[in-house]
Structure 1
Amino acid sequence: MAKSLCEKLAEILKGEAEQKKNVCMVTRERKDLKVSILGHPTQSDLVIALEFSFEPISKKNETLNLAELVLLQEEVNPFLKAIKKSDHIKVTAIHNHWLFEKPRLIYMHLESVQNPVEFAKEIAEALKKAGVK
């Protein structure tokens, strides 16, 4: 995948781009989250990062798009309502990762095969509607 396209996707998603072989990885930290696990503050990307990957496939102008989002539980339903408008994006999992974390965090997995810019724009818009900063 072209580096400039990867950087464009990162700009749309308000994240940082990293090219790994032919896969574009975009990571966006939730700097607005103040999280503790077992009573200890954490800024680990394992806890507060939204992660996206875009991988070329045989279809022209389309990629395999994957995402794992960290959401506050009150952001889950507004995000789902917004993302259900997409004809391509599938929600494949909604679950927790941690025990004894504050605030309560929910992780959502998404996948699609579509134009990567469209995927990024649809995700960015749904995050905005859910109030994710």
Structure 2
Amino acid sequence: MNTLRWFQIGIIVLSVWVSGQSVAQQPSNNPVALDTVKIEQLTGIKGKLDAAESVFKVSQPRTDLNAIVAGVKMTPPMGLTSWAGFQAAGDQVMVMGDIVLQEDQVNPVMSAALDNGLQVTGLHNHFLWDKPRIMFMHIGGMGTLETLAAGVGKVFAKVQETHSGKKPAAAIKLDAAKTSLDPKPIEAIIGAPVEKTGEVYKVTLGRTTQMNDHSAGKAMGVNTWAVFAGSDEKAIVEGDFAMLESELQGVLKALRGAGINIAAIHHHMVNETPKIVFLHYWGAGSVSDLAKGIKAALDTQAKS
């Protein structure tokens, strides 16, 4: 066989090998196509496609708020519009969003998100001197289009259900300076020492992270704490959870499951390793029930 023939055979073999490699290296799962009609059906909200980024976004202006910030009458385009964006992510769908809420809507809407396949990733204010008080809850998730869109639909439905603006009656009235509770059940349930600070009782549990190549821990504010005030049967607990990002959803679900309200989710630091998320909470009830709620949330951190 002449040299030219061997050369031709070599080219054919190489071409087949390269072709096979190309096919093998291609991802087996094609990106899921967004069914925008189904997203609108499941969320109950009309949406708009951003063709440049392939994101389908549903939005709901909060026209019912009648919000005033530092004397300025606000309109929905000034950051008072709830939204959720859907984007294909391989064989799954990713959702991110920001939900505009009054204070009394925060925890019912948060529970609706957590109970329906969504993550809650942030909770904070965007304004000062706002009337009524307005909070912003960030949501996210990765999964099937059906699960995520239905979850977003539940969130928007709960916003509509609770939008009357009626403030709930105070859950409890007490003077923290007249605290008479027994701290022993707190220590027994949570499993940590209780310190009396003034007239109230406080539990503090440290965490550790690295800041600028130095360890930062309990005394530097990297800690979970709970303050109890009131009587054994009529008490409040308020405090702060320090968590890894992977622990946030478990802690949220445990606290909400115990009827404890979430007041804020945010960061206290930047550039720390590992990243620490902080969650502020408030609950009312008997001392034992409140301590059990805090313990349940702590237990989720031990398991994560």
The alpha carbon displacement at 1:13 in A equals: 3.0
Distance 1:91 1:57 in 2: 19
The alpha carbon displacement at 1:11 in A equals: 4.3
Is 1:58 matched with 2:58?
A: no
Residue in 1 aligned with 2:73?
41
Amino acid aligned to 1:123: V
Percent identical pairs in the alignment equals 21
Residue in 2 aligned with 1:72?
102
TM-score by length of 2: 0.39
How many residues of Structure 1 are paired with residues of Structure 2 in the alignment?
A: 128
Give the alignment partner of residue 24 of structure 1, picking from 37, 42, 56. Answer: 56
Give the alignment partner of residue 105 of structure 1, picking from 134, 138, 142. Answer: 134
Amino acid aligned to 1:75: Q
**Which has the higher relative contact order, 1 or 2, with Cα contacts under 8 A spaced 6 or more apart?**
1
Which runs of 5 or more structure 2 residues have no equivalent in the other structure? 1-32, 164-304
Residue in 2 aligned with 1:95?
124
The alpha carbon displacement at 1:107 in A equals: 0.3
Which runs of 5 or more structure 1 residues have no equivalent in the other structure? none
The alpha carbon displacement at 1:105 in A equals: 0.6
TM-score by length of 1: 0.82
Is 1:116 matched with 2:145?
A: yes
Larger Rg: 2
Between Structure 1 and Structure 2, the one with more strand by share is: 1
The alpha carbon displacement at 1:66 in A equals: 0.6
Between Structure 1 and Structure 2, the one with more helix by share is: 2
